[in-house]
Structure 1
Amino acid sequence: MVKRTRFNESDCPVARSVDAIGDWWSLLIVRDAFDGSRRFGEFQRSLGVAKNILASRLRDLVAGGILDMAPAADGSAYHEYVLTPKGRDLFPVIVALRQWGEGHFFDPGEPHSEMVDLRHGRPPRALEVHSADGRQLGPDDITVKKVERPAGAAAASE
């Protein structure tokens, strides 16, 4: 079996974030948690993923502090998975992926699930990145300052 490359000590926040999420199943589990799924069976029915893979991803998300296990709200012997504050902080990531997907993977007029504001019943505005002074920023407006290492020191992937 091929050993997975780890990025949990990388200098790059994107690499560490991807390392924490793991794979697409994990992101889809988080998406479903935002949509109200809490029990193993709910995730399994929604995703159609094999039970062993789902169990592994849920275990990793709990270990990573993204989900927590709680007693079932109905008092049964089951437990539920709930988003932690760290997991809830993934909300803009899920919204950004959704908006990107809506813009690039659906033909005009093609039906798809839609996120709507509960108060107004309309989709949220597109996410934007703004500078500290309020200017909208695009890829050409930013740079990444790499960690400077002494000569001969190994750098983690960026």
Structure 2
Amino acid sequence: MQVKCEFADRGCQSILPLTVLVPHSQDCAYRPVSCRNPGCSQTVNLGQLVAHETDECEWRPVGICQRGCGLVLLQRAVTAGHECVEALKNQIGEQEIRTGSLETEMRRLQARFVKREKSLLAQIATLHGDVQLQALNRLAQFVTNFFLSLSLSLSLFLDVI
């Protein structure tokens, strides 16, 4: 049975046996994929991905600023006109937001670890109490057996006299 590629609407003209449709679909040049440049949300055909990411994408890195800030420049910043001070302010703002979210996550994890530590300490205290109780029970059993043995020995001794 011959079938059209599932990406025919994107331009693929392949008609193939059903048995090879899945492998073809995974490698099809017309399969939609997302651009991997951070900030870009564009979807392109797999066969156009490299050209998009390296030549067309507004979010592609195009170099490092030589005017003093040293930031990686994106095509969109070059097109719009890169301002070092503004770019550095934006970068600091992004880092402050990231730092805030990391601090929030750290506090959440610390609270979780404190709660877990208290739980483990309670379990240790319970186990310690259980061990002490077992030791007391064994001591009581030993003392009981000792006195039973002693009384038996004493009664045998008295029977002999």
Instruction: Provide the TM-score with structure 1 as the length reference.
Output: 0.23
Task: Name the larger-Rg structure.
Answer: 2
